[in-house]
Structure 1
Amino acid sequence: MNLLLLTTYAFSLMQPGIGNPNLFNNYLVLGYGLMWLVGVGYLLNLASRQRNIKQDIELMKQILQEDEEPSAK
């Protein structure tokens, strides 16, 4: 427990004071915006990959049906 308190105190001493809090808020908003963009981009990527997999499955079904038709005759 003492080590945790000592570590927390040491880190608080190493951090510089924020001269202008508005500058910090600008970076905070920028960080949140960037993370939202990354998240939305990732979701769009997943949706695109899922669509491509569905197309591949449909193509495989079509190929299997074409292969089964001549053998049935």
Structure 2
Amino acid sequence: MTQAMSCNEAAGLVRSQGAVVLHTSPTTYDRYVSGPGMCLLDQTTEPAWVRTADSTQCFVGYRCRAIELEIGQ
């Protein structure tokens, strides 16, 4: 649960594990990664911030998202 961790603890966990599922509230969770190498080949990263015990917007790493191609590319 990120709200029980410091920002440094949450970000450090993502960095040390490479990819981790974090609970950001009692009913919400997501997978956070340290960089694009932890995503599938058809995915890219987007910056991710979560609420922690000491920060309302703590940068913990990234989330993997599908690459969206425009028609005609």
Please give the TM-score of this superposition, normalised by the length of structure 1.
Answer: 0.22
Larger fraction in strand: 2
Higher RCO structure (Cα 8 Å, ≥6 apart): 2
Larger radius of gyration: 1
Please give the TM-score of this superposition, normalised by the length of structure 2.
Answer: 0.22
